[in-house]
Chain A
Amino acid sequence: MAANTTAAVELRGLTKHFGSVEANAGVNLRVEPGTIHGVIGENGAGKSTAMKMLYGIFPPDAGEILVNGKPCAWSSPADAIAAGIGMVHQHFMLAGPYSALDNILLGAEPRRWGIMIDRKRARAQLEALASRYGLAVNWDEPIESLPVGVQQRIEILKLLYRDAQILILDEPTAVLTPQETNDLFRNLKKLRDEGKTILLITHKLKEVMSFTDQVTVFRAGKVTGELSTAETNPQELANLMVGRKVVLNIDVPLARPREEKAIEVTNLCLAGVVAGSRHKLTEISFSVKCGEIVGIAGVEGNGQSEVLQAILHPRDPRCRTSGSVKFMGEDVTAYETLRIRDLGVAVIPEDRQQEGLLLERPVSENFLLGLQRSPAFSHAGFLNSASLQKAATQAVEEYDVRPRDLTLPAGKLSGGNQQKLIVAREFQRKPRVLIAAQPTRGVDVGAIEFIHNRIVRARDEGAGVLLVSFELDDILTLSDRILVMYEGRIVAEFSRDEVTERELGLKMAGS
C-alpha cells in the first residue's frame, strides 16, 4: 500500500451517535483505487453505519470523508451519486413490473424534446456498458420475472449507467445460489480490472478470503483490523470480529440415529404457483429420525417455507391441500398448532422478527410466547409471573442473551441475541422435534458457533432435527442427510459425507 497514491475513499475519525449508542467511534478506513475491499464485522459493529455515511444517507457527527482525496460533505445520497459513488442495497430497489431497461433509466432518463424518454439512445449506451463488463441482461423482460442474480446485475448496471466509480455492495450474496455467487464475483473482478473500486460489506469470511484484496474489520463501532487479504486467514478475521477466539468450523461427526421417526411427511401438496412450478408443493415425502439432522437446501422461494408452514399448520387450507404429517409416530394432520407444539416440537422460525418475537414487548414476555399455557408458567388461566421471572433469568444466563435485562423490549436486542432468546425459549420445551429455519440468518460469527452447538446437542440428546437454510455452510456443517428443493419438489437427497458444494449448487439451480 503506497501511501503516496490517493485513496479512492478515506474515512478519518468518523463518529456517529444514535441516542446514547455510539455506532461509529473514530472509524478510519482507507480504500485504494481499483481494489475490492471487504468490510466485515458482526451485526451492529458499525460497518453499515460507516457505509451509509459514505453514501450520504446521514451525516457523521465528527470526522471526515475523502473521496479521491477531496473532502466531501454530502447532504443526501444524490450528492454521493454525483460524486461517483453507488450502492447496491441488500434488498433491491427495483420496480417489479417495469422492464430491466426502464428500471435502469428510472430517475436518470435521457430525454428527447424535453419530455420523451430516449430509450433508443439509452439502450445503445447500456449495451455498450454490458458488453464491456460482460453483464448480459434481457432488457425488455419485466424485472419480477428475472432470476435474483440477474436482478442484482441490473442493480449494478444501474450504478454503472450513472457512471459510478466506487461501488458499495451490501451483503450481495445473501440471496444467490453458489453459482450465481461465483458469477457475481467474476463480474466484480472484471469491474475492478477496469478500474472501479468496490466495497463489499459481508459477514461471509469465505467470500472475503476468495474475492477481496484488502479487508477492514469492524467491532463495536471501531476498526479492529486493516489487513491485506493475502496475509490473513479466516480464523484471524473471525477473532478480530468477535474479540475472542472463535471455533470457526465445528466438526460434527455424523449421527447414529434411532429407528424411531421424529417427523414423517407423506405426499404433502399445496396448490398454487411457486417459482414457475404449478404447485407450491408437489408430493413432498421425507422423514427425520430421532437423533439425526436433516437439512433442506435450496434457493429462497423454492417451497422451503411452504413445507415448514404445512407441517406446523396442517389444518390450515392455505398451508396444506393434501398429504399427511406425523410427529413422533402420531398423525397430527388434523391437529391445531398448539397441540402439535405440545408434543415437544420446538421451532426456530424463519422470520425471527415477524414470527419469533413480540418486538415491542419485554424479553420476559417473549420468553413466555407459546409456553403461556404450560403448567410451569400458568395455573387456572392466571400467569405465574414469579416462575416466569425465575426461568427467564436462568435461561438468559444459560443461553448468554445480552444484555441480561428481562424488561428490555426484544426489538432492542441485536440479531444474534434475539436468536439466542428464541433458542432459549424453544429449548425450554425439552424438544423431541426441532425445526430450525434459517437459524443463523443475520447472526454474527460468535452466535453462529453457539447456535450450531446447541442444534447438535439437541440431536445428540435424541431429538429429530429438520434444518432449513439458504446458507450452504449451515447445511454442510450440520446435516446428516441433505434434501434439495427446487420449484416445490424435493429433487435430490444426499448423505453429508458423499456430497460436494458444487453438486448441491447444481441441484439447487434445477439441473
Chain B
Amino acid sequence: MRKVLQPILAVALGLALGLGVTRIAGESPWHVLQILWKSAFGSSYDFGMTLFYTTPLIFTGLAVAVPFQAGLFNIGAEGQLTLGALAAAAVGALWPMLPWPVAPVLATVAAILAGTVWGAIPGWLRARRGSHEVINTIMLNFIAAGLASYVTLYLLKNPDSQNPETRAIGAGYLIHQFGVFGGAPVSLALPLAIVAAVLVWILLWRTVLGYEMRAVGQSEPAARAAGINSGRVRIIAMAVAGGLAGLVGVGEVLGNAGKFRLGFSPEYGFIGIAVALLGRNQPVGVVASALLFGALHKGAADLDLETEHVTRELSLVLQALIILSVSAEGLWSWMKKRGEA
C-alpha cells in the first residue's frame, strides 16, 4: 500500500510546492494548474500530444528501470535513443523502396540493435574492466550526439531542407497513426511501449534471467556465491536497456517525422531517469509516471502563451520538485512515525 501511496503523495507535494512558487512570480497557482490541465487533457488533440510525449518516456523509463534492478545506473538512455532513431532513419533512407510491413519491422530491428550495442558497451566495460557505468554512459551520450551529427550532416543530409535532418524514409516505413486524436501523432509506437512494459515485467518477475538480475542488484556477493555470473547478467541488463531506449526511434522516425531530426529529443533519456525513480523501477509504475511527465511536458507548453510571468520551464521545476519529494526518505519515515504515534 505504502509503495503506491508514497509516490502519489510525492507528486501532490511536488505539484503543491511548484505551483506555490508561481504565486511568488505573480500568477495564481490555481490558474496555472487549470492551464496545465487544459493543455494536457483539454481536447482530443491535447490528450494525443500528451500520449505522444508519454510514449518515448515509457521506453526510456524502462531503459533506466531494468539496469537499476540489476544494480546499475543507466544515464545513457539519451545516447541509446539517439542512435536507435538514427539507425531507423538510416535504414529508411538507404532502402526507401522496401514495402510495408517488411520495412517498419526492419527499421524497428535496426533501432533496437543500435540501442542494444550502445547499451552493451558500458555494460561490458563495467563487467570486464570495472569502469563505472555512470561515467561511461555519460561519455557515450556525447559520442552518440557527435556521431548523429556527422551521419546527419555529411552522409544522409536532406538536400531539400535547411534543417539538420536526414533524407525522408520511404513511404512503406510509415506506421499507423490513430485518427481519434485530432491529428496528434499517436502511432503504433504507443501500444508497442505498453507491450514492452509487459515484457519487461515478465522478464523481471517470471524468468530466471530477471531473477538473476534482481539478485545481482540486491547483493553482488550473494549472487556470486550462488554461482550467478554477475558480469554477464549486467551486460545483458544494459543491452536490454539500450534496446528499449532505441525503440524511441520507432515513434519519432516511423510514427512522426519520417526522418531523423537532430535534437528531436527534449532529453527523453534524462526525464526517463525521473520516470523510473518515481515509478519505483517497476514497469507499471514507469507507465503511470511516464504519463504524468508526458502530461507535464505537454501542459507546460502553453504556459508561455497563457500567462504573463510563467514559462514552460515550469515543467522542469515541477519534475525536480516531484523527484525531490519522492526521494526525501527522511520525510516519509517521519510521516510514518507521526502516523504511528
Which residues does A use to contact B, with CB under 8 Å?
Answer: 19, 312-313, 336-342, 347, 349, 351, 354-361, 365, 368-370, 372-373, 378, 381-383, 385
Contacts and interface: CB of A to CB of B under 8 A. Distances in A.
Interface string B307-341: 00000000000000000000000000000000010
B227 A361 contact: no
Nearest to B212: A372
B22 to A, nearest CB: 39
A337 B224 contact: yes
Given A381-B208, A382-B208, A383-B208, A357 B222 contact: yes
Given A19-B340, A361-B214, A369-B215, A356 B208 contact: no
Given A312-B225, A338-B228, A383-B211, 9 more contacts: A337-B225, A355-B222, A356-B225, A358-B215, A359-B218, A370-B227, A372-B211, A383-B207, A383-B208
A341 B226 contact: yes
Nearest to B223: A369
Contacts of B228: 338, 370
B211 A338 contact: no
Contact of B221 (A19, A342, A354, A385): A354
Contacts of B340: 19
Contacts of B226: 341, 369-370
Contacts of A382: 206-208
Given A337-B227, A361-B214, A354 B222 contact: yes
A54 to B, nearest CB: 24
Given A19-B340, A338-B228, A341-B227, A369 B222 contact: yes
A356 B222 contact: yes
Contacts of B214: 358, 361, 365
Contacts of A365: 211, 214
A51 to B, nearest CB: 24
B156 interface: no
Contacts of A351: 221
B125 interface: no
B206 A358 contact: no
Nearest to A342: B227
Contacts of A378: 208
A342 B227 CA distance: 9
Interface in B194-250: 206-209, 211-212, 214-215, 218-219, 221-229
Contacts of A385: 206
A365 to B, nearest CB: 7
B332 to A, nearest CB: 15
Closest 4 pairs (CB-CB, A-B): A370-B226, A338-B227, A337-B227, A358-B218
B225 A355 contact: yes
Contacts of A383: 206-208, 211
A340 B225 contact: no
A340 B226 CA distance: 10
B225 A338 contact: no
Contacts of B208: 372-373, 378, 381-383
Which of A351, A378, A383 is packed against the most chain B CB atoms within 10 Å?
Answer: A383
B302 to A, nearest CB: 43
B225 to A, nearest CB: 4
Contacts of A369: 215, 222-223, 226
Contacts of A370: 225-228
A358 to B, nearest CB: 4
A52 B206 CA distance: 44
A168 to B, nearest CB: 29
A436 to B, nearest CB: 13
Contacts of B212: 372
Which of A339, A342, A361 is packed against the most chain B CB atoms within 10 Å?
Answer: A361
Contacts of A381: 207-209
A337 B224 CA distance: 8
Contacts of B211: 365, 368, 372, 383
Nearest to A312: B225
Contacts of B215: 358, 361, 369
A336 B227 contact: yes
7 contacts: A313-B224, A342-B227, A356-B222, A358-B222, A359-B218, A361-B215, A369-B226
B132 to A, nearest CB: 19
A378 B211 CA distance: 11
A351 B219 CA distance: 12
Contacts of A372: 208, 211-212
B225 A336 contact: no
Given A372-B208, A382-B208, A354 B219 contact: yes
Contacts of A340: 227
Contacts of A357: 219, 222
A368 B227 CA distance: 12
B202 to A, nearest CB: 8
A336 B229 CA distance: 8
A366 B226 CA distance: 11
